[in-house]
Amino acid sequence: MASKLTAGEIEIELAGAMRVLRPTIHACLELSRRWKGFRNLEIALVGLNVDAFIDVVQLGLGIEDRDQAAALVCASPLVVDPPAAEHSLPSAVARFVEVLLNGGRPLEAEHAPDPPAAGG
């Protein structure tokens, strides 16, 4: 089971290497500002807007240099088979945006049953 500190982290394969997107307040606020809201970001991602993928990767990885994030995105497939491959660029970015919109927590955590009370 993942610790609470890393529960919202998303593994992503970029340019053939595994990396980790980390939900931060900065990433959430900056993506909202750049795209004038998450609805616009989601529309751009569905439309395979490369700039949208670059922004998410840059902020999720905490990369200062946008060109470095662009190189990672452009060296990774946007169209994959199967489309929902867990660590693929499109799938991981979509899950990362969901995590940001869920307060940094994965959606599954919201539906997990409560642990039994001690002393039952």
* Model confidence, pTM: 0.84
Task: Write the pLDDT tens digit of every residue in 63-120.
Answer: 999 999 999 999 999 988 776 688 999 999 999 999 999 999 988 754 545 555 555 4
Handedness of CA 104, 2, 90, 20 (dihedral sign): positive
Task: Write the pLDDT tens digit of every residue in 22-66.
Answer: 999 999 999 999 999 999 999 999 999 999 999 999 999 999 999
CA distance 84 to 62: 24
Distances (CA, A) of 90 to 1, 5, 11, 33, 52: 25, 24, 12, 21, 11
Q: Any idea where the domains of the chain sit in the sequence?
A: 10-104
